[in-house]
Amino acid sequence: MNTQLSADGLWHDLRLLDMQALLAGELRTTPGVIAVQGGRITYAGPALALPEGLSTSGPRHDGGGALVTPGLVDCHTHLVYGGQRAGEFALRLAGASYEEIARAGGGIVSTVRATREASEEALLAAAAPRLEQLLADGVTAIEIKSGYGLELAAERRQLRVARALGERHGVTVKTSFLGAHALPPEFAGRADDYIAQVCDHMLPALADEGLVDAVDAFCERIGFTLAQTERVFQAAERLGLPVKLHAEQLSDMDGAALAARYGALSCDHVEHLSPRGIAAMRDAGSVAVLLPGAYYALRDTHLPPVEALREAGVPMAVSTDHNPGTSPALSLLLMLNMACTLFRLTVAEALAGVTVHAARALGLQATHGRIATGVPANFVLWQLQEPAELAYWFGQRPACRVVRQGRIVEGGR
Ligand code: DI6
Ligand code: FE
């Protein structure tokens, strides 16, 4: 991180993204100011309505007319792992499918081998520069999953590194335990035994250590069955932990409907989501997390049912799904662009998808993804004329100043 300057004081000459209008599908900004005290926002709105006490106290920060949005939220990542899988990228280009590679002992399991071999220090050293890339795009809260250890000690290392990243970089980190990501080789042919291990040993131990904020699973032909997924959810429920699911990415397993029954925070990927799954998610208030990076990198052609989700009023979030296999993406703004170009989200929908809805997918809706009185100061000043530019440019890093957890960070990192 470049600086540790407090953001307390009055931020003036800003153009605030109107989040109310955004949720109604409109891109609008209003001139305004933000007051910060003790790392929290005490006022955001027109300068004329600023309560008197706030206008005189503390330092002044000149926004220079910058566009201001809430800090972005990357609500689905697998940021901590060993190695990389460029070789598989080449295999896929030569015609092998993701599922074929996985069944041949590559895929997730190859990253498991590299992660198990890595020390906590090595995992941290590998993940930190990746996190810095995401932060440079204005990310102020991020979810990080385990799932490349698939044994207690290695899963613990991943989650401890996720927590350490949050502390070192001053960024809100939510962890998800993804022990049910793939079957580790030592359990070949004994998936039910592995799930018992996940539910009865790994999850309770890691939750007891305070390392688990939510529980995730990979319900898929190359992952775990619906029945096995439900056992994981039951274990989460026993511990009072919220659930989420990698659902219907490669096929329709009816996972979303199951997750919704357990009040899932989100169902993620959802390319093959059925009308039944959509209805269940709507009723449960689960967020659909769209992951265009994985869709793109796998050269998928089966689009998620965006129009049906929109019609049903299911909130849609957008995230990087950063992982070494299917989405080596390190820019949430690029995902914003792809959500529009590939999935046909409107810019307003995509922007809501990396702010309010992404925060909700992490259970952070009260504190993140918006700029309001009382919430921790997380907002981004962008060197841009209009909000649509956030989705329009790609490969640019237009965040000029980020306020993250009440601290000013130049250039985002
Ligand atoms: N879905 C994903 O997008 C990642 N995991 C999952 O269940 C991919 C993980 C990998 O290929 O390493
Ligand atoms: Fe994922």
Percent of the chain with pLDDT over 90: 94
Cα 182 to averaged position of ligand 1 atoms, centre (Å): 9
Taking only the tens place, the pLDDT of each residue in 305-325 is: 999 999 999 999 999 999 999
Q: Per-residue DSSP letters for 294-328?
A: HHHHTT------HHHHHHHT--EEE---BBTTTB-
The predicted model gives 179-184 an average pLDDT of 97
pLDDT tens-place string over residues 267-296: 999 999 999 999 999 999 999 999 999 999
Pocket test for ligand 1, best of 108, 148, 269, 296 (most atoms within 8 A of CB): 108
Q: H/E element holding 290?
A: strand 287-290
- Residue 178 Cα: closest atom of ligand 1: 7
pLDDT given at position 1: 44
By most ligand atoms within 8 Å of CB, the mutation choice from 75, 78, 295 for ligand 1 is 78
Task: Give the distance from CA 210 to its chain's centroid.
Answer: 20
- Residues 60-72 have pLDDT tens digits of 999 999 999 999 9
Ligand 1 atom with minimal separation from the 220 CA: 7
In the structure encoding, which two tokens stand for residue 382, read together?
């962008």
**What is the residue with the minimal CA distance to atom 1 of ligand 1?**
246
Task: Assess whether pLDDT exceeds 80 at residue 4.
Answer: no
Cα–ligand 1 centroid distance for 98 (angstroms)? 10
pTM exceeds 0.95 for this model: yes
Cα–Cα distance for residue pair 369/66, rounded to 1 Å: 18
* 160, two tokens: 């401890």
**Which range is least confidently modeled, 99-113, 116-130, 335-349?**
99-113
Tell me which residue has its CA closest to atom 7 in ligand 1: 218
Measured distance CA(38)–CA(375) in Å, rounded = 11
Best residue among 300, 326, 327, 335 to mutate for probing ligand 1, ranked by most atoms within 8 Å of CB: 326
- Closest atom of ligand 1 to 246 CA is 7
CA of 181 to the centre of ligand 1 (A): 8
Q: How far apart are CA 125 and CA 119, in angstroms?
A: 10
Tell me, what's the pLDDT at 411?
A: 76
Report the alpha-carbon distance of residue 168 to residue 404 in Å, rounded.
Answer: 13
Is the pLDDT confidence value at 24 over 50?
A: yes
Ligand 2 centroid, distance to 147 Cα (angstroms): 10
Reduce the DSSP state of residue 186 to 3 states and report it: helix
Give 189-232 pLDDT, tens digit per residue: 999 999 999 999 999 999 999 999 999 999 999 999 999 999 99
CB distance 81 to 162 below 8 Å: no
Ligand 1: lining residues by beta carbon, under 6 Å: 78, 107-108, 111, 181, 218, 246, 249, 294, 321, 323-326
The pLDDT score that the predictor gives to residue 105 is 85
108: CA distance to ligand 1 center in Å?
A: 7
CA of 322 to the centre of ligand 1 (A): 9
Measured in angstroms, how far is the CA atom of residue 382 from the centroid of ligand 1?
Answer: 32
Quick one: pLDDT band at residue 2, thresholds 50, 70, 90?
very low
